Amino acid sequence: MKKRSNICLRIKNFFEEVSLSLVLLIFIFVVCMLCLYAVADMVFEDNNPSFDRHVFTSILPYINAANTGMMQVITFFGSAQFLIPANILLILFVLFIKKQQYDALKISAITIIGTAVLFLLKFLLQRQRPLLPLIAKAHGYSFPSGHSFSSIVFYGMLAYIGYKNIKNNFIKWSLIVLLFMLAGMVGFSRIYLKLHYASDVIAGFSLGIIWLLLAKWILFGKVKIPAE
């Protein structure tokens, strides 16, 4: 009887550790994998441009000088010119202010390895960009969107750091929502400016979230958000 009680207690402890947050993260990971597969299959296997054309057509009535100027500002926050210094500042903050040398190394690894994977995929897939962008034509291949991938990784790391360190729930969750909204707006700006197809952006976001979750498993241990 005592042995059975110990087994039941272990099972109970296991399910307490498998939190709702963990289940949600696994669900997000699977959904992103499916999205990435679906858009890659649509673009490279089926060679079907109807989705991307439909998105461009839907945006067309909203294109004007004011919106274009605003989108150029937003897209800057996903550019290498902004994110490279921002990542360096984040690493220096964690290293010298928080004095967490190992975490600074992890952030560096997430950024560098993720960027290498992104450009490897671009090189292997070699999808051309839209032909008629609204601003100066961007260089490099189109799939997946580098701005979308880099934004979701960087702002996702900021959101995670905020979650771990901010005690006030309102401020914490407001910051997390704002960061992911900014990442989402960066992705939308790439479509609006016709620098990427919508499928490129979906792939960039999906790949970025997948990489964040994999990095959480590999570099930060098992995916488990501590209880409040």
Highest mean pLDDT pick, 90-94, 135-139, 214-218, 219-223: 90-94
Residues 179-189 have a mean pLDDT of: 97
**CA-to-CA distance for 193 and 195, rounded, in angstroms?**
5
Q: What is the DSSP string of 151-215?
A: HHHHHHHHHHHHHHH---HHHHHHHHHHHHHHHHHHHHHHHHTTSS-HHHHHHHHHHHHHHHHHH
Q: What pLDDT does 8 receive?
A: 55
Residue 228: Cβ within 10 Å count: 5
- Split at pLDDT 50, 70, 90, the class of 97 is confident
- One-letter amino acid at 194 equals K
pTM of the entire structure?
0.85
Q: What pLDDT does 12 receive?
A: 52
Q: What are the boundaries of each domain within the chain? A: 19-220
Ranges 25-29, 74-78, 118-122: which has the least confidence: 25-29
**CA-to-CA distance for 218 and 43, rounded, in angstroms?**
30
pLDDT at 20 over 90: no
Angle of CA points 59, 63, 66, to nearest 5°? 140
Q: What pLDDT does 21 receive?
A: 72
Q: Which of 198, 189, 199, 201 is nearest to 63 (CA)?
A: 189
